[in-house]
Amino acid sequence: MDQLAERAGVHRTYVGLLERRSRQPTLAVAANLAEALGLSLSELVAEAERDAGTRTAPEIELLPAPPKRPADRTHLGECSQLSVMAGLSGDAIARAIEFAYRKLDLIDEQMRTSGSRPIVGLVELPDLSSLVGDLIAAGVAHASNGLYVQNGPDHYPSLLPLRQGFPELDVATALETDRPMSRSGNAGLYLTSRYVLANRDGTYARGKDSRGDTVAVWEIRFGELGDGDFHVAGTRTDNGRAKLKKEALDRMELVYYDSALLPYAKATGVYAQAH
């Protein structure tokens, strides 16, 4: 159980809850578990259906894997705060982005081959942002060399330290120019990510009418946030989400920035200075 949890980037307690059927995994966690077990996601689902007593399992066709999408290291910033405060390197963030891309692209390839639309065409955008955030958190855990493990779905914080002296770390994600939303709005260390919907060939055109079907990360930031850095929707007792304030986002360290994917009409401030 310990080995499976480590390979999948989740906590061992969460694996136990899954085995006892006290929790249901998200799509991102299921994909991580499948990879850790040496299975495709469709194979894992087939095994689950057999276990559920359906007696029949869907035919499984092993598909050619799509090309891997790299995260350009030239888009990384200095990452000094990230290194000192969280023990993470810029390369770990790039690997986390590549991890998320790989999971999304493998799932989309299977869905397209079966005649279905990709994930972007099947889920609401808030759910897509949650999925992207979960995958980036899983990627950070995977690339952290044993420093962090991913927490359970919809649990705060997103990443738990495995070594004494390292902090908890939360991941908040948003689409395009939206400000990231936190599950809790609690003070702490945050890794924020924003993405756009590009075309499959990597090209991107700004505007809702020009959205493609491929997730592409354009910005990742890191920093320490306080209780006053969030606007809370609803109340903290009714699961209200907390949106990061603009001034708080602006002062966070720019860890990763791809100017070709900038969703703003014009690069200003830190974006005009970066690269």
The residue among 60, 90, 109 that closes a domain is 60
Give dist(CA 204, CA 213) in Å, integer.
Answer: 11
Considering only residues 273 and 137, tell me which one the structure prediction assigns the higher pLDDT. Answer: 137
DSSP 80: H
Q: How many residues does the chain have?
A: 275
Give dist(CA 25, CA 158) in Å, integer.
Answer: 15
Q: Is residue 65 part of a domain?
A: no
Considering only residues 71 and 155, tell me which one the structure prediction assigns the higher pLDDT. Answer: 71
pLDDT band of residue 54 (cuts 50, 70, 90) is: low
**Whole-number mean pLDDT of the chain?**
88
DSSP states along 22-72: SS---HHHHHHHHHHTT--HHHHHHHHHHHTT-S------PPPPPPPPPPP
pLDDT band of residue 8 (cuts 50, 70, 90) is: confident
Burial 175-208 (b: 16+ CB within 10 A, else e): bbeebbbbbbbbebbbbbbbbbbbeeeeebeeee
Q: What pLDDT, on the 0 to 100 scale, is given for residue 233?
A: 64
Q: What pLDDT, on the 0 to 100 scale, is given for residue 234?
A: 55
Report the CATH number that the domain containing residue 170 is assigned in CATH.
3.40.600.10
Q: Do residue 128 and residue 203 come from a single domain? A: yes
Lowest mean pLDDT among 72-76, 263-267, 268-272: 268-272
Q: Do residue 112 and residue 165 come from a single domain? A: yes
Q: What pLDDT, on the 0 to 100 scale, is given for residue 238?
A: 40
Q: What is the pLDDT of residues 222-245, one digit of tens each?
A: 999 998 999 876 544 444 579 999
Report the CATH number that the domain containing residue 4 is assigned in CATH.
1.10.260
Q: What is the pLDDT of residues 192-214, one digit of tens each?
A: 999 999 999 999 999 999 999 99
pLDDT band of residue 72 (cuts 50, 70, 90) is: very high
